[in-house]
């Protein structure tokens, strides 16, 4: 399937590993000419750049920065103002129930999950509006629709970003822009392992039993980063030109069963 991404440029945050890195590779395979990659890890970004350039011959620019800091988000938006596609993916919410989380834990998580997405969207959107085209894809998370009291910061932030994406995306075609979201469930990343170990400790008293939780999934496994990345890239493509203000859930049926695993 020809996605119509040849020659385009894209900015992907959280791009040194996991879904973000897989998304960068998927864009490159589909002909995106210029990739802008942002993440905290300079070493991870350097490795990603080397791999992408050697495998696909794509132009890659990297930005090692903490996007929970507003000044960094504004600088990234300035440096990447001409991109055709923005993928907001940088987020790492603190797990735990409400009574175990300080105000600072809430602020740190929501600065990344909400404010980095909102600020970068607002700034990049303004440039896209001037050009009359662009796509913004927000990687959110299925806890925004499948609420989890033991992941209360994440579930709150994700629900907020779902509302933001639907609200902005419902009007964005007036400016020639599409804004869409994806809601992954558990994905086979380092972050998932950390969360699953905590869940196994809560449930079984032994974090070493975290892989047993897979049996509770409808598909008996988590998603791969590549499965989520390919959905993101499709939504960013011309093939999805009639999709905006929509959240696509990719969780193997977990939310439909109302399961918190």
Name the residue ranges covered by the structural domains of the chain: 9-187+223-252
Radius of gyration of the chain (CA): 18
pLDDT tens digits, residue range 85-131? 999 998 778 888 899 999 999 998 898 889 999 999 999 999 999 99
Highest mean pLDDT among 90-94, 139-143, 256-260: 139-143
Domain 9-187+223-252 in CATH 3.30.70.270? The answer is: no
- The pLDDT of residue 72 is 98
CA distance 111 to 118: 10
In sequence order, the 6+-apart residues with CB closer than 8 A to the CB of 84 are: 8, 9, 10, 133, 134, 135
pTM value is: 0.94
- The pLDDT of residue 170 is 98
Which pLDDT band, with edges at 50, 70 and 90, does 211 fall under?
confident
Residue 10 pairs in a beta bridge with 35, 85
């Amino acid at each position: 399937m020809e996605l119509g991404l040849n020659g385009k440029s894209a900015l992907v945050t959280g791009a040194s590993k996991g879904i973000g890195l897989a998304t960068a590779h998927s864009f490159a395979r589909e002909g995106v000419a210029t990739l802008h990659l942002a993440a905290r890890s300079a070493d991870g970004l350097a490795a990603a750049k080397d791999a992408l350039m050697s495998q696909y011959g794509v132009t890659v620019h990297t930005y090692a920065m903490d996007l929970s800091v507003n000044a960094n988000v504004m600088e990234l938006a300035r440096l990447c103002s001409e991109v055709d596609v923005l993928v907001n993916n940088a987020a790492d919410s603190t797990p735990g129930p409400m009574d175990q989380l300080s105000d600072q834990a809430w602020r740190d998580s929501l600065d990344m999950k909400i404010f980095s997405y909102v600020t970068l969207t607002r700034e990049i959107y303004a440039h896209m509006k001037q050009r009359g085209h662009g796509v913004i894809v927000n990687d959110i998370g299925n806890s925004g629709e499948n609420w989890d009291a033991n992941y209360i910061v994440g579930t709150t932030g994700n629900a907020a970003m779902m509302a933001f994406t639907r609200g902005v995306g419902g009007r964005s075609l007036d400016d020639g822009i599409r804004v869409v979201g994806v809601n992954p469930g558990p994905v086979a990343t380092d972050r998932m392992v950390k969360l699953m170990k905590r869940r196994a400790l809560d449930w079984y008293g032994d974090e070493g039993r975290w892989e047993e939780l897979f049996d509770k999934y409808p598909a008996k496994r988590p998603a791969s980063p590549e499965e989520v990345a390919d959905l993101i890239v499709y939504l960013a493509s011309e093939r999805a030109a009639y999709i905006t203000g929509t959240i696509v859930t990719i969780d193997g049926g977990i939310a439909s069963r109302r399961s918190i695993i």
